[in-house]
Structure 1
Amino acid sequence: MSFAPKKARREKQKAVIGFIGASGSGKTVSALLTAYGMMREAYPDASEEEVWEKIGVADTEHGRSLLYANEQFGEVKVGEFLHIDFDPPYSTERYNDAVQALKNAGCEVVIIDSLSHNWQGEGGIIETHAGMSGNSFQNWGKLSTETTSLIKTLTRNNVHILCTLRTKTEYVVEPNEQGKSAPRKIGTKPVQKDEMEYEFMINFVINAEHLAETTKDNTRLFEGNLVRLNEDVGSKLYKWLELGVDIKAEEAAEKAKEDEERAELAKEIRKLEQISEAHKAKVTEFEYKTKAKVEDFNLLLLERAKSLLETIEAPATEEQTN
């Protein structure tokens, strides 16, 4: 198969974002508010109900996301998003099924809360590996297709994917505001395969104060800053995603332009059917212009107009009357 190089152009993107943090850091709420900001930006004239219907949650956390329905966060009241109670087993196939179900229900943003269960949960990859017989190292190789399939689920479903990931919790002892030593909970590595972080467009790492910094940010919108993840972040993100070239929209616009030109030509041809003998010469001029632009039904209409002109009796012109 030969390759066909072409000039690089940035196209519209679908978000694949990780919300990484320890328990209680606010991953789920951050994802909900970000999703809301994206869809509110996408549908500025839609009702609140319509906007929330564009957001779906695949919930592996025993329905925890439902705790936030109808709760107020700043200026946003969480509405009735679509929800899947995602019970075990947490296999890669079932993650894909959950995303597909929400997509088919009309969701344009899918929140996976959480992706960590696919790695370290009932029926997840670690448990599956533990139950396999034979060489442990070779068994990991056999399971590599699970990660490949999961990456396809995140990147090839043509919906925005926001994933929460748990981190292993550790404590550090440091001076508090009173200058006394006190333990502070921190999150370390996310609970997922190490390479999975590279698949995300943005990785938001959220601390105990519910502020996030990025360890990866392809958008370069948030790098180097601590941000509170809310609807404004979602709005800003959606605008960035929409800055790319939409190839399908370009093709549709080009076709619409051609159709409009053809319609205008057809309209002029129909007018020719009514012209007088004194304007016959214009048919020849118009024929030349038409042939230079189109090759289809407009030429048939032109032939029809010419045929009519040859058979009808032209009315006298104003000049002849005078």
Structure 2
Amino acid sequence: MSFEVKKARREKQKLIAGLMGPSGSGKTLSALLIAYGMMREAYPQLSEEEVWAKVGLADTEHKRSLLYFDYQIDDETKVGEFLHINFEPPYTTERYQEAIVALKQAGAEVIVIDSLSHNWQGEGGIVEQHGAMSGNSFQNWGKLAPETTKLVRTLTRNDVHIIATLRTKQEYAMELNEKGKQQPVKIGTKPVQKDEMEYEFMLNFNVDMNHMAKASKDNTHLFGEEEFRITVNDGRRLFRWLELGVDVKAEEAERRAKQAEADEKERQRLLAEIFAAVESDEKKRKELAGLEFKMNEQKVQNFPLNAMRRAHEILTN
């Protein structure tokens, strides 16, 4: 298969974002705020109920995301009835794919996976699968590499915006409190997932116990290096950035529609000329029959255009 060389240009994108942090840092609510902001920006004419119905969440955290229903975001907005899946074990890659497909079919256009860490270190996840394998431990990790490949495909090839939360391994550090005294503070370090998984995201946020986020990877260049609290407006900004590119799919659909229109015009022209050529010429009628070209309007519509061109060339020369 040969390579096709094209000039670089910006295309519309589907968001693939990760929110990483320790338990209680606010990853789930932050993901919902981003998701809602994106859909609010995408559909300004829709009601709150209709916008929230375009947000889906696959919940591996024992339905804890439902605690945010009716949560007041600001003076005008509160968390509405988002689409929800109670994602129970096993946390296999196939089940993550099934959850995303189910939410898409239900109408979700942005999907929160809360959390992606269970695919690695949860019941039925990759670490558990590895532990159940016999033989060489190192070689067994190699046998499980396709699981990561399938998960990346799930995140990148479902044509839907995805925001995934990831737990982090928890450690404690001593920090000064408001009274100037040392106190232990829970911090997140390494995400609970395969080491290379962070590279698959377009945007990564580290969220701390004060609910402050900082972008550790930002292909959008929207968020800089400062810590901030995630709001609905961040989702709005993200959606506008994602929509700035050329809509390649729309372009392709338009190109195909124009081509189909042009093909149909050519088909009708060839058909008229073929009929005219054989109308009073017995020899050409026999040639046409030999080409298995049926003189029937209904069947002609399905006759291959290239074959029609060959018939036209033979009959009009």
User: What is the TM-score with the length of structure 1 in the denominator?
Assistant: 0.79
Native 8 Å contact 1:111 1:161 kept in 2: yes
Provide Cα deviations, 1:56-114, integer angstroms capped at 9, x if missing partner: 11000000000111111224210101110001111111111111111111111111000
Number of the residue aligned with 1:274: none
Deviates more, 1:56-65 or 1:70-79: 70-79
1:131 aligns with 2:132: yes
Number of the residue aligned with 2:240: 239
Shift of 1:213: 0.3
Number of the residue aligned with 2:145: 144
Q: How does 1:42-53 map to 2 (within 5 A)?
A: 42-53=42-53
Which structure has the bigger radius of gyration? Answer: 1
Amino acid at match of 1:13: Q
Deviates more, 1:224-233 or 1:122-131: 224-233
Give the 3-state SS of the residue equivalent to 1:7 in structure 2. Answer: coil
Q: How does 1:181-220 map to 2 (within 5 A)?
A: 181-220=182-221
Give the 3-state SS of the residue equivalent to 1:216 in structure 2. Answer: strand
1:110 aligns with 2:89: no
Q: Distance in 2 between matches of 1:60 and 1:157?
A: 20
1:15 aligns with 2:11: no
Q: How does 1:161-200 map to 2 (within 5 A)?
A: 161-200=162-201
Give the 3-state SS of the residue equivalent to 1:227 in structure 2. Answer: coil
Number of the residue aligned with 1:81: 82
Q: Distance in 2 between matches of 1:97 and 1:10?
A: 31
Q: Distance in 1 between matches of 2:85 and 2:140?
A: 31
Shift of 1:174: 2.2
Amino acid at match of 2:72: Q
Q: Distance in 1 between matches of 2:113 and 2:197?
A: 14
Q: Distance in 2 between matches of 1:260 and 1:115?
A: 46
Provide Cα deviations, 1:116-147, integer angstroms capped at 9, x if missing partner: 00111111111110111000001000000000
Shift of 1:260: 10
Give the 3-state SS of the residue equivalent to 1:89 in structure 2. Answer: coil
Q: Distance in 2 between matches of 1:256 and 1:120?
A: 48
Q: Distance in 1 between matches of 2:96 and 2:270?
A: 55
Q: Distance in 1 between matches of 2:147 and 2:196?
A: 13
Native 8 Å contact 1:41 1:238 kept in 2: yes
Runs of 4+, deviation exceeding 4 Å: 252-261, 294-301
Q: Distance in 2 between matches of 1:132 and 1:257?
A: 55
Number of the residue aligned with 2:294: none
Provide Cα deviations, 1:273-298, integer angstroms capped at 9, x if missing partner: xxxxxxxxxxxxxxxxxxxxx75658
Native 8 Å contact 1:216 1:223 kept in 2: no
Residue correspondences, number: 274
Q: Distance in 2 between matches of 1:132 and 1:258?
A: 54
Q: Distance in 2 between matches of 1:98 and 1:252?
A: 28
Number of the residue aligned with 1:37: 37
Amino acid at match of 1:219: T
Q: Distance in 2 between matches of 1:127 and 1:255?
A: 48
In structure 2, list runs of 5 or more residues that go unmatched: 273-317
Q: CA RMSD in A?
A: 2.4
Shift of 1:177: 2.4
In structure 1, list runs of 5 or more residues that go unmatched: 262-293, 302-322
Q: Distance in 2 between matches of 1:246 and 1:123?
A: 39
Q: Distance in 2 between matches of 1:41 and 1:299?
A: 49
User: What is the TM-score with the length of structure 2 in the denominator?
Assistant: 0.81
Provide Cα deviations, 1:127-181, integer angstroms capped at 9, x if missing partner: 1101110000010000000000000000000000100001111111122222211
